[in-house]
Chain A
């Protein structure tokens, strides 16, 4: 890699990272589930692309493997699993009604500014050019968090969770040259298992409340306790009796 090429590659990395952040916004405001899953897949592919370019600039060869892992897991496997699940749950035409989307987008913008402010101590350190991306990755993490709070649909919450993982991976790639391999594999394994379990839970939730609107999972609040107690908080035995 000749040094004259570096600035161009750096610019590519920055542009790609910016598009990753943009996909986060798309995810946040996209009411159609299938389109949101596509946006998530794009985000995974972009993160993989950033990783590849960073690997090319820094001569860190194990990052090529990480990029491949991300591409397979985040851009192909998990979106495919989500697609299949939405089809089986007959949610592929589902459109969620979003409350106050403009306000949420404003909140997300505030989060981006907040992330830049928060990582100032890191940006000020002498380090590779990628340090700017740490702020972007923190913003992606926090927007994922916002999405999990704001969306009431279980699948959308999972998308938020997974995009948080994307942000974390981006942080690891940009702040450092990627985590040690054993950790990266462990994290990937955890994410995959989590996705499988999320799939199991979609069916369990639908079985119990007949929809995937997690807002309706509200039986376990402190204040509602009395009503439930009146109905008899039950051990398994009593439940079985009711079920017959």
Chain B
């Protein structure tokens, strides 16, 4: 419990202090320090849960499923804050988003971390909603940080679309609460996930079906599912790069986590009805659509961050599809994919940030010859993109292989769609990547000071997960799988 409190309170304290701290240098360091504390506490929390099982009570619930996301969130928050310190300093020296903008940036970075961790650890569906909406509010000012017309437009779109989406999710939450009124004796416990899950079989199926549609559209907007994905490429491409890294690596995961938790409730409620797998089919449909559409859109992109945000949509679509497929193998694969996708994608955005600084633009056509100009950045980009495209030694390959196997078992025909989607996405990424890393650099392109440590750590972890998943992690993901699907894989 203490570990949980520190995990949650450290970012709050950080956000408050950073909101008033003027000098930029110490603010950057403090941001790193707070993230380190959060990560330490999250590690402690993880260790506690691993040693003595789930922590529940005081409307919090930390079990095997969400604790691994808590650890992942805190870890990526830490590495991104390490990257963001010199990066934002560079931005501040060159452009001048005003100093005040930097205060907003650091404060909101921590506020965002808080909302993510709160959304993951809370047991109350209402608080989950408040936290996910809070994440939009914390990041929307960061998307418009540079105050260019494009950035303001992206932020407005992000605000309005996510606001609408999340409002629909609240309607779904109200409906869930309504269904719970008949079942749960204490009305104030009617939004507690654990209680609802215990009584899931008694929740009125007709109401839960309706509720899930609203919830899926609502949280699905945040996951970036097609056709509600319009905000995502804009927000990712116009915001500062560290923000793109955490949005892609964390926010999308947390939204998907919410969808999966709610699917567990609805599955329990619909188990005895005529269409028990309705929620799963909906997820599969949305997931497959996102996966294929985003893969096609990859080809048309001209902005490097936009391209990788479409790649995020594609991978979130794949995970949504896998969770919809259900079954231990697909769920295990999806959990692993969440992990490796977050690590790889945040590494990619960090590298892309440096690449954009080297070239002075985000336009793919003008980024050329990275390997010759700055080998560390060029090679990192090449390796990271190979990893995200699903090349063998990396973890993404492992999880995609598991997902394909699961699809082959359950819905063989869909394997064709998945394989062609993967091939399309692969082609889309590499046709843009090749000239960026190889080729002759333009005149006067100079290396920048880059801290490649976060990238190296992330990619090393992804490589490790691809070569051999450590025993404890496999056990852990297996326990989470059991929690979600009710049966073991290993």
Contact = CB atoms under 8 A, between A and B. Distances in A.
Interface of A: 118-119, 121-122, 124-125, 127, 134, 138, 141, 144-145, 148, 154, 157, 161, 164-165, 168, 171-172, 175-177, 179-180, 182-183, 186-187, 189-190, 193-194, 197-198, 200-201, 204-205, 207-209, 214, 217-220, 222, 225-226, 228-229, 232-240
B127 interface: yes
Contact of B300 (A118, A124, A222): A222
A150 to B, nearest CB: 13
Contacts, number: 186
A176 B210 contact: no
A177 B126 contact: no
Nearest to B238: A220
A187 B137 contact: no
Interface of B is mostly: helix
Nearest to B213: A118
10 contacts: A121-B210, A164-B164, A176-B178, A193-B137, A205-B156, A208-B149, A218-B153, A219-B153, A236-B94, A236-B95
Contacts of B126: 179-180, 182-183, 186-187
Contact of A235 (B133, B160, B170, B357): B357
Interface in B400-454: none
Contacts of B362: 233-235
A77 B129 CA distance: 23
Nearest to A62: B188
Contacts of A194: 133, 137, 159, 163
A141 B171 contact: yes
A193 B360 CA distance: 35
A182 B192 CA distance: 12
B146 A236 contact: yes
Contacts of A234: 148, 360-362
B167 A168 contact: yes
Interface in B204-226: 204, 206-207, 209-210
A183 B191 contact: yes
B70 interface: no
B142 to A, nearest CB: 11
> Nearest 9 A-B pairs (CB), nearest first?
A183-B126, A186-B130, A121-B206, A236-B95, A240-B95, A208-B149, A217-B153, A175-B178, A237-B94
Given A164-B167, A168-B174, A235-B356, A176 B207 contact: no
Contact of A239 (B148, B191, B297, B357): B148
Given A121-B204, A176-B177, A233-B302, 16 more contacts: A122-B206, A175-B174, A176-B178, A182-B59, A182-B127, A183-B191, A187-B133, A190-B133, A197-B141, A207-B147, A208-B152, A229-B302, A232-B363, A235-B357, A235-B360, A236-B146
B249 interface: no
Contacts of A127: 178, 181
B150 interface: yes
Contacts of A121: 204, 206-207, 209-210
